[in-house]
Structure 1
Amino acid sequence: MAAALDAFVEFGYHGANTRDIARRCGLSVPGLYYHYATKQDMLVAILDYVMTDILARSRAAIADGRSPAERFALLVECQTLFHAARRDLGFIGSSELRSLEEANVGSNRRLRRESKQLFDNEVTAGIASGEFRCDDPKAASRAVVGLCTGLPLWFRTDGPQSPREVAAQYAGFALQLVGYTGSSSKLLRALKIGEAPFER
């Protein structure tokens, strides 16, 4: 799967070919087909892995929060760290969804809805608790998701910011988007947002 990921990042799904992928992982083409019957199967495996991993990490992050605002900030940190520290996976997860054949779209779309729902739940709960003031919670939640998933399009590991620095910055942006009524900087310090290393 790592060889296919590298090829998809370098050439795009449609530009990559199975012979090159087989060479990258030291297999013959028939040997590669033993593991994955088609190039589409490789893409499905990568995209499903991306969403399954993000969901598991996101649920673990939320479990550490005691309030909607805490859970929301931790969720943003988690997804930002993933898309920055695992940039190639995040990039393919965002850019090659369009390359899925119709028969393979449903499962990945369901996982994406589950991920988006995690944000929706905390924004709705935050409004109910008075921690957030937001006229359009669905739009705010969608904008925050877009911030996180758009990171691989520009983030570089050799750039001026580390994944942790971006995570802290984006958590602050996200709290502003949902109209957090408390002190964002105080909340981020209390949660140590941007201090935890990304565990691969």
Structure 2
Amino acid sequence: MRRPVNVAHVGQQVLSLRTARGWSMRELASRLDVSAATVNAIEHGRTGISADRLNDLARTFDVPVATLLGSHDCPESIDGDPAISAAISAFVEAGYHGSSMRTIAERAGMSLASIYHYYPSKQSLLVKILDMAMDELDWRCAVAIDGPGGPLDRLHRVVEALALFHTLRADVAYIGASEMRSFEEPERTRIAARRSAIQHLVDHEILSAVSEGSASCERPRETGRAIATMCTSLPQWFDKSGPTGPETIARTYAELALRMIDTNPARLHDVLAAANKSTKGPTQ
């Protein structure tokens, strides 16, 4: 996992970007749909920074997430390499075996020789795509685990992170689900182990919640697999142009996960209230 987000550094960056744009604290709060008190807490490093909040800030300022975090906190962007972008679109449209290095080069606007200079084989492109995807997913989950609260709070945030990734990155998530058979060894085993590590995060929080008595799931490991599977299946049906956005789906799936492990009603209420407060920020 990547190290926790440096909230003080993010706060300094937010303050600097807001000042450079001539925005008041209240204007930034309005753009983010949070309170001015939340913006103040962010700028002074007095509140946790979720993956969703980081993405909202990056979109609002129209800067890469890495600008807010620093290169040591944020994974390499999937979107920054034309060869990778072309390979993703080709693999989604025609499948790994139905794509060639020549068609990928044409999609990328590169010569075949140029693409071979950076990627010696189609297999190397597939491995790079999945490693970059797993880097981002690891980062999102690390932010989720690093937040406040107990195992139910962490499970809620991890499932949100999984659902968001599988909607916002539906293309690479689809490749990960459909092309595992196309990996050659030892990469297949290595990538599979990275995927299993995410499942273990879900399992660990469920078992911890059962152990502390805040949930009473009779089959925690099987339920954990079901929770992860409902997230990984999102690319099969999610439509970005549809009526339900990624954030709504993520919140819904996170609540479903807590209900699936028979969370104590009082604790369920507390977790959902805390999550809603974190999303909207404190009222003034």
TM-score tier (shorter): over 0.9
The one of 223, 229, 238 equivalent to 1:146 is: 229
Q: Distance in 1 between matches of 2:146 and 2:278?
A: 17
Per the normalisation by structure 1, the TM-score is 0.93
| Overall identity of the aligned pairs, in % | 36
Secondary structure of the structure 2 residue equivalent to 1:15: coil
The corresponding residue for 2:145 is 62
Secondary structure of the structure 1 residue equivalent to 2:186: helix
Q: Does 1:30 align with 2:110?
A: no
Q: Distance in 1 between matches of 2:220 and 2:278?
A: 25
Mark the runs of 5 or more structure 2 residues left unpaired by the alignment.
1-83
How many aligned positions are there? 196
Q: Distance in 1 between matches of 2:218 and 2:201?
A: 19
The corresponding residue for 1:121 is 204
Per the normalisation by structure 2, the TM-score is 0.66
CA deviation after TM superposition for structure 1 residue 33, in Å: 0.7
CA deviation after TM superposition for structure 1 residue 186, in Å: 4.7
List aligned pairs for 1:37-48, cutoff 5 A: 37-48=120-131
RMSD: 1.6
The corresponding residue for 1:19 is 102
Q: Deviations over 1:149-184 (max 9, x none)?
A: 110010010112100110111112111111111353
CA deviation after TM superposition for structure 1 residue 195, in Å: 4.4
Q: Taking CA–CA contacts closer than 8 Å with sequence separation of 6 or more, which of the two structures ends up with the larger relative contact order?
A: 1
The corresponding residue for 2:23 is none
Secondary structure of the structure 2 residue equivalent to 1:192: helix
CA deviation after TM superposition for structure 1 residue 142, in Å: 0.5
The corresponding residue for 2:274 is 190
Which residue type is aligned with residue 273 of structure 2? R
CA deviation after TM superposition for structure 1 residue 128, in Å: 0.7
Comparing 34-43 with 179-188, greater Cα deviation is found at 179-188
CA deviation after TM superposition for structure 1 residue 194, in Å: 9.8
The corresponding residue for 2:89 is 6
Mark the runs of 5 or more structure 1 residues left unpaired by the alignment.
none
Q: Distance in 2 between matches of 1:189 and 1:7?
A: 43
The corresponding residue for 2:217 is 134
Secondary structure of the structure 1 residue equivalent to 2:117: helix
Q: Distance in 2 between matches of 1:195 and 1:24?
A: 39
List aligned pairs for 1:135-174, cutoff 5 A: 135-174=218-257
Q: Distance in 2 between matches of 1:194 and 1:29?
A: 48
Pair 1:119–1:92, CA change in 2 (3 A): same
